[in-house]
Structure 1
Amino acid sequence: MMTNLFSSFDPSTIFLSLNWISTFIGILFIPSMYWLIPSRWNFLWVKMIMILHNEFKVLLGTKFKGSTLIFISLFSMILFNNFLGLFPYIFTSSSHLIMTLALALPLWLSFMIYGWFNNTIHMFAHLVPQGTPPVLMPFMVLIESISNIIRPGTLAVRLAANMIAGHLLLTLLGNTGPSMSLVMINILIFAQLLLLVLESAVSIIQSYVFAVLSTLYSSEVI
């Protein structure tokens, strides 16, 4: 029995910190796709990776070859965690800020350190957009600096909030089932199935958004 609505997201329930092992369950899917005879799932996954590679390559350019692999791996990890969280009794690590910040903050810090050490003039130029009147330049520097600093926070909160929102909605609707009539339960099951499809789409979209925004942030410091 849940003590409150958010206790289903508590990482310390039942198995203490062992819940975080669910983050790496996605690795179990790799052997059947890569180390056995190629299947349709394998071709589908390779096709999706190539589409992402071509898209990220346009954003990053050709200065650092192979850098798209970082963001494709990031996309894959978040996608696995988002989908696994839709299964019953599997801990959703991507709905916790400690997980999403652990992904966003090191990425952002590495971009900033690289940019300020290697492209200092370029980084200063980003603080003042082209065509800004001289009077507004101090304000633009302040605004751009703040927007740059909060980037890892917005990345982390966006992913965690979207995953929590869908799970909470499914939980709230599911808890009303025992008090409903047979007709309403059928309608509820249909609504839950539609929400599950929506959550599957959200899982893919949020993984893609996280990876693309990370790519865009990295392309600014090159």
Structure 2
Amino acid sequence: MPMSCEKMQTLKEIIEGKSDIWWHQWWRDNAAALEKELGRTDYLKLKYGRLTAAAEYLTKNNVSFEWSQKGRLAETYSLLGDNLLDENGKLDFNKLDKHWGGAISLFHDGQVDKSMALFEDRLYQIVKSQDVMAFEEIATEDILFRLGETDFALACLRTIVNLKSNERFKDILLDFNEYYDDLVFANIEWAEAEYEKHISSGRT
């Protein structure tokens, strides 16, 4: 059974930037009904694919739309966890800054050295505790780029790229990488490639 026309219309309006509703709010309000309306495959695609999957669902059901700038922002917000959003599903900068240990606001204030010192401390705790999922998340910085925090993201990537030569991390980084069969060093190499890509494209 397909999604109701009313729900599809709201998704279309979110994508086209004509709605004040954001993905997380829409999902919270409709998830229970969707679980009954949709087949399990479509339901799970929406649950985990979020607004990107919603656009694919609309296309599959012959609903035309044009992505707007606000719609792309909504797509980015849909990828964030509830811990970074306000009650309406919109980014809460204070929560984002807190998630990064206050490093973003310091960076915005021009206190780059203090900002990166905080970021390095956060990295140290992640590496020391061997939290590979947190390390993979922090090594990509993809969300920061998508949120427009390009300069901060590049500074973070530069710090990650230099981890292997950072004496503070020497022993714990080797142990971390060995435990996860070189996955950690692979993430650092990926971070280096991303850093070089953004620098060469002039995104500084």
Q: How high is the TM-score relative to the length of structure 1?
A: 0.25
Q: How high is the TM-score relative to the length of structure 2?
A: 0.26
Larger proportion of helix: 1
Structure number with greater CO (CA < 8 Å, separation at least 6) is 1
